[in-house]
Each structure stands twice: as C-alpha cells, then as structure tokens.
Amino acid sequence: MSEPHTGGARRILVLLPLFAFLALATLFYVRLGAGDSSRIPSALIGKQVPTFALPALAGADVPGFGEADLKTGEPVVLNVFASWCVPCHQEHPELMKLKARGVKIVGLGYKDTPGNLLKFVKDGGNPFAAIGVDEKGRTAIDFGVYGVPETFIIRGDGTIAKKIVGGVTVASVEQALAELKR
C-alpha cells in the first residue's frame, strides 16, 4: 500500500509563518499610520498640573516657577525644551512670535545643563516669562513628557487643557488657546 499524499499539508505548514508575519506587519502598518502622532493622549488632560517647584535659570533674568505660577487666572503655555533638541531650535522663532503677540509662555528646561540652556535662550532670544530647570527630568515625568519639544496649554485655574507633541506654530497655539474660550 502507498502512503497518503502529504505535500499540500507540508506546503501550508511552510507558508503559515509567512502569513502570520504578513498579518502582523499589516496590523502594525495600519496602527502606526492611524491618527495624528502630534496628539498623543495624556492622562493629565482635564486634571490639575502636578505639584512641583523648579529653580530659575541663572543669568536668564526670569524666575523659576512652580504649579502655583500656572494658576494665574489666564491661560499659560508651558513649553518643554532642551538645547540639544533640533525641533526645539526650529520652533523657537514661533515662540518668539507668540511672545510678541502677548502669549504667556513658561519654559521647562528638560535634562540639560544650565549653561547650555542659557546659551539657547540668549542666542535665539528669550520667549519665556519664567524658566524652570529640570536637569533630572523629574517634573517632566510628572507631566507625562515623552520627549522634547512638548507643549501644554494650561487653563487659568491650573488645569491641563491640551498637550502638543512636537514643534508648535503660532497657528497651533492660537487655535488651542481659542478652544479654551469655547
């Protein structure tokens, strides 16, 4: 007697890992392409800013700040930046334009040395009403920062209204501030 033909079953077993890989690759591609990567959700949206106090950047002629300074009754833009961050250099002129339009911006210097932070704000101009130095990144972690630049729109009562990941523009910040008035 002859053995049953098993060629079709072997072919399926050989191709099964390929089909599984293609299915996973398709799933990852679709998920990574979905949505706007600059709108990473934050668990802190709608919640009060965390408790913190950051020292001033010596030589910048502006104070440091803490959570109480973000409860001014007026919206505040909190920009997380670093001198080593290329997109931070790219967004800096936009922050200067926002300052010229009267937008209150505070800067959180993330995992950087005071000397490098000072050079950054001296070279491009200082758009910040206050700069807090967060050399170890602890305050940034409390805010849920993934990387730099990230910008938070803070309501006048200290509630986080929006998080913008990546560089900002005048239009993106003004739109976020306008949404607070609705």
Q: List, for residues 38-91, the tens digit of each pLDDT value.
A: 445 567 888 999 999 999 999 999 999 999 999 999 999 999 999 999 999 999
Q: Say whether pLDDT at 98 is over 80.
A: yes
Report the pLDDT averaged over residues 150-172. 95
Strand partners, 131: 107
Q: State residue 173's pLDDT score.
A: 94
CA-nearest of 66, 102, 82 to 167 is 82
Percent of the chain with pLDDT over 90: 70
**pLDDT, tens digit (0-9, with 9 covering 90-100), for 118-153:** 999 999 999 999 999 999 999 999 999 988 999 999
Question: Where are the chain's structural domains?
Answer: 53-180
Distance, in Å, from the CA atom of 5 to the CA atom of 157, rounded to the nearest integer, reads 75
Hunting for tokens 């729109």 — which residue is that?
153
Mean pLDDT, rounded, of the chain? 87
> Which residues make Cβ contacts (< 8 Å) with residue 123, sequence separation at least 6?
none
What is the structure's pLDDT at 12?
Answer: 75
Compute the average pLDDT of residues 13-30. Answer: 69
pTM of the model: 0.77
The strand pair at 53-54 and 150-154 is best described as unpaired
CA distance 111 to 157: 27
Beta-sheet pairing, 65-66 with 53-54: antiparallel
**Domain 53-180 falls under CATH 3.40.50.300:** no
